[in-house]
Structure 1
Amino acid sequence: MWATLGIVIVAILIIMAEVPSLIKNKAKRELWVFSVLFVIGVGLSIARGLNVSIPNPLDVLIIVYKPLIDLLTSLLHS
């Protein structure tokens, strides 16, 4: 609970520091990229603060490439 509140407070402070300059410079693309990455980062941080198990991105690559690795290994060891 306290971790989530702390993350939200820090996120609000970062938004207050960064977003006005992006709006002032009319940097719409940068604002969109900042917003998307920031929401993902804050969401993951809150999940970690609540002890939610977050899968490792490398696990997805292992699942995708494991059949190919097994095939190549079997071909090379034959």
Structure 2
Amino acid sequence: MFISLTIIIVTFIIAYIVIPPLKKKGEKKTIVVFSLILTIGAVLNIAIGLKKNIPSPLDFITFIFTPIRNFLLSLLQ
């Protein structure tokens, strides 16, 4: 619980530092993208802090390309 609270506090500090200058410049799209990426990062860090199993992006790539590899190997043999 302490780790989650720490991550949330650090996330708010980062947002407090970065978002006001972007507001002054009128960068609405940048604020949305920044907030989205910051939120995803915070959620993933909280999940890691709570010892949840986070799948690797390599698992998805392997899932997609294994059938393609097997098909190509069957054509070449």
Query: Equivalents in 2 of 1:12, 1:23: separation in Å?
Result: 16
> Does 2:8 align with 1:3?
no
Q: How many residues align?
A: 77
Question: Does residue 43 of the first structure (1) align with residue 43 of the second (2)?
Answer: yes
CA distance, structure 1, for counterparts of residue 24 and residue 52 of structure 2: 37
What SS does the aligned partner of 2:51 have?
A: coil
* Equivalent AA in structure 1 for residue 16 of structure 2: M
CA distance in 1, matches of 2:22, 2:42: 19
Equivalent residue, structure 2, for 1:72: 72
Normalising by structure 2, we get a TM-score of 0.94
List structure 1 segments (4+ residues) > 4 angstroms apart after TM superposition: none
SS at match of 1:52: coil
For structure 2, the 5+ residue unaligned runs are none
Give the C-alpha shift of residue 57 in structure 1.
1.0
- SS for the counterpart of 1:51 is coil
For residue 5 of structure 1, report the CA deviation from its aligned partner: 1.0
Q: CA deviation at 1:74?
A: 2.0
